[in-house]
Amino acid sequence: MSVPTHLGGHLPAEHRLSPQRQYRELPMIGRALSDYPVKDLWETDFARLPAPLARQRRRARAFAERFIAPVADELDLAAHLPPGQCHPIAMDVLREAGRQGWLSYFLPRPLGSMPWRTLPYPPIWQCSLIVEEFSRACGGLMLLLSAHHLGAMPLLLAGNVGQMLRHLVPVYRSCERGEPHLVAFAITEPGAGSDAEDGHGAALYSPGVVARPTSGGWLLNGRKCYISGGDLAKSATVFAALQGEGMESWTCFYVDCTAPGFKVARNELKMGMRASGAAELEFTDLFVPHNRIVGGLRRGWAINRATLNASRIPVAAMAVGFARAATEAALEFARRYTLGGKALIHYQDVQLHLATMVAETRAMRSLVWQEARSAWQPRQLNASLCKFHATDRAQRVCEMAMDLLADHGGLHEQRVEKIFRDVRLTRIFEGTNQINRLSMMEDWQVQLLDADQPMGV
Ligand SMILES: Cc1cc2nc3c(=O)[nH]c(=O)nc-3n(C[C@H](O)[C@H](O)[C@H](O)COP(=O)(O)OP(=O)(O)OC[C@H]3O[C@@H](n4cnc5c(N)ncnc54)[C@H](O)[C@@H]3O)c2cc1C
């Protein structure tokens, strides 16, 4: 079958009215200003990044394509294992990810694996680039790898160098040796999801996990739920109130998950991101020594909110990865699948559909990069906006892919079905999108209420 020279409804590139042909015939200056190389879109963006970040992005893509994508389906369909057991394939990915530095890149070498050349750029930017590549390949494995950084974030943000050297560096070293030491982040409680993410709710909430003083430290009691990677983690940053006090006493404890009194009560069977466990953790007189308090007593609420501000931009990057995977799958389908004797892509209404999907995906990426490139001190307003907008739009793009693939969209082998289940969860975790909208307004309220403040948007 001969390859068509142009898409249905368009002129061939060599037609005398084709702009590309005409640009080439312009005088030199006009040609220099109009003619452009036709490149892959991902590669075009590559040239727009600082070179060290661009290299990390390419490395992340290579890792995702070689180690994550090939096992994504198998892990998605695999039965959930009992808490504490890791699927051997997921363990292989974790080991390799650790060896390649994907579990330790928030500190520069030799403490972690961040290349020195990326040091001038916010780590959140680097993280966002990596997360997009991983989520494009598999949402579940991406979450397994990313939740670890969320768990370690309080240790970084508390800014205690001694604690970083004592706790985080050994975690990083272990990962780099190929012995994964995952860290989980535990704020959600059976009675508090949004209340752990929103100031107004927190002010009314009676904390469920409570720390009681004892000789040399604290005893933790209570339960946390939906903790990503909590089933496999060797350590966790657990947020608890001090006995007899409210949420304002929230304190971050760096917990040893192998200590007596720590139990993984169960792993949820959830709709998507199935390669990552969502664990319920139970603490019964779990002893935590004083030197494992992260950032000081009663500093937990601030550390939690700062952690969420830092992590919501990478969550938006997850959304870009899903939208991109869905768009790539839809493009692939439209090029391959024939209807009425021609490939779907030759129908102009299909082209309109695909054009919107590509534009949405690239607009999301622009938003993420815009926020990530200045995310040394990520602002709540910007991070929340970025999270809810990108994840909402990404789900829309995935729905468009389902529309295009029609009955094929529901088949597991087409990938879009899995992406559709995975992307939905990004609108729930790190605060539901409703909570993120409120969180944006919360941060803005001082300016909104001051009539003398200019209201630039
Ligand atoms: C895949 C996955 C991974 C997760 N990983 C982690 C993790 O690693 N660590 C962790 O601690 N947690 C984790 N979570 C928990 C997650 O952060 C919570 O599920 C989320 O914050 C929502 O809380 P909730 O489910 O308790 O909903 P609720 O707080 O019970 O909310 C119920 C509904 O009420 C709405 N609502 C609540 N308050 C308001 C309000 N004031 N105004 C308007 N609407 C409101 C919400 O938007 C929602 O629609 C994870 C969740 C999922 C699904």
- What is the CATH number for 307? 1.20.140.10
User: Could you tell which of 432, 437, 438, 441 is best to mutate to test the pocket of ligand 1, judged by most ligand atoms within 8 Å of the CB?
Assistant: 432
Q: Are residues 334 and 384 in the same domain?
A: yes
Where is the domain boundary, 182, 216, 241? Answer: 182
Ligand 1 pocket member 273 (CB < 6 A):
yes
**Of the candidates 6, 177, 21, 160, the residue with the CA atom closest to the CA atom of residue 99:** 177
| 272 occurs within a structural domain | yes
Atom of ligand 1 lying closest to residue 196 CA: 21
| 4 occurs within a structural domain | no
Ligand 1 pocket member 147 (CB < 6 A):
yes
Distances (CA, A) of 252 to 234, 288, 300: 16, 11, 5
Ligand 1 pocket member 139 (CB < 6 A):
no
Query: 56: exposed, middle or buried (C-beta count within 10 Å: 0-12, 13-18, 19+)?
Result: buried
User: Could you tell which of 194, 283, 430, 440 is best to mutate to test the pocket of ligand 1, judged by most ligand atoms within 8 Å of the CB?
Assistant: 194
| 345 occurs within a structural domain | yes
CATH number at residue 257: 2.40.110.10
| 238 occurs within a structural domain | yes
Where is the domain boundary, 253, 270, 301? Answer: 301
Q: Are residues 172 and 60 in the same domain?
A: yes
Task: Extract the tokens encoding 343.
Answer: 């490939």
| 19 occurs within a structural domain | no
Q: Are residues 291 and 331 in the same domain?
A: no
Beta bridge partners of 342: 339
Output the tens digit of pLDDT for each of the chain's 457 residues. 567 889 999 999 889 999 988 999 999 999 999 988 888 999 988 888 999 999 999 999 999 999 999 999 999 999 888 888 899 999 999 999 999 999 999 999 999 999 999 999 999 999 999 999 999 999 999 999 999 999 999 999 999 999 999 999 999 999 999 999 999 999 999 988 888 887 888 888 888 999 999 999 999 999 999 999 999 999 999 999 999 999 999 999 999 999 999 999 999 999 999 999 999 999 999 999 999 999 999 999 999 999 999 999 999 999 999 999 999 999 999 999 999 999 999 999 999 999 999 999 999 999 999 999 999 999 999 999 999 999 999 999 999 999 999 999 988 888 999 999 999 999 999 999 999 999 999 999 988 999 888 888 8
Where is the domain boundary, 286, 301, 316? Answer: 301
From the CA of 320, how far away is ligand 1's center (Å)?
21
From the CA of 195, how far away is ligand 1's center (Å)?
8
Q: Are residues 89 and 55 in the same domain?
A: yes
Q: Are residues 214 and 175 in the same domain?
A: no
Q: Are residues 236 and 154 in the same domain?
A: no
Q: Are residues 269 and 330 in the same domain?
A: no
User: Could you tell which of 205, 253, 435 is best to mutate to test the pocket of ligand 1, judged by most ligand atoms within 8 Å of the CB?
Assistant: 435
pLDDT for the residue numbered 413: 82
From the CA of 189, how far away is ligand 1's center (Å)?
10
Number of domains in the chain: 3
Q: In which domain, by residue range, is 86 found?
A: 44-182
Q: Are residues 238 and 369 in the same domain?
A: no
Q: Are residues 269 and 332 in the same domain?
A: no
First to last CA, the chain: 54
| 20 occurs within a structural domain | no
Q: Are residues 173 and 191 in the same domain?
A: no
CATH number at residue 124: 1.10.540.10
| 24 occurs within a structural domain | no
| 136 occurs within a structural domain | yes
Atom of ligand 1 lying closest to residue 270 CA: 1
User: Could you tell which of 185, 188, 308 is best to mutate to test the pocket of ligand 1, judged by most ligand atoms within 8 Å of the CB?
Assistant: 188
From the CA of 435, how far away is ligand 1's center (Å)?
8
Q: Are residues 272 and 285 in the same domain?
A: yes
**Of the candidates 293, 308, 171, the residue with the CA atom closest to the CA atom of residue 237:** 293
Ligand 1 pocket member 429 (CB < 6 A):
yes
- Whether the Cβ atoms of residue 239 and residue 297 lie closer than 8 Å to each other: no
Atom of ligand 1 lying closest to residue 184 CA: 8
Rounded Cα distance between 371 and 286, Å, is 39
Nearest protein Cα to ligand 1, atom 48: 432
Q: Sign (positive/negative) of CA torsion 313, 318, 322, 325?
A: positive
Task: Extract the tokens encoding 167.
Answer: 């706790």
User: Could you tell which of 311, 384, 429, 441 is best to mutate to test the pocket of ligand 1, judged by most ligand atoms within 8 Å of the CB?
Assistant: 429
From the CA of 193, how far away is ligand 1's center (Å)?
4
Ligand 1 pocket member 86 (CB < 6 A):
no
Nearest protein Cα to ligand 1, atom 12: 188
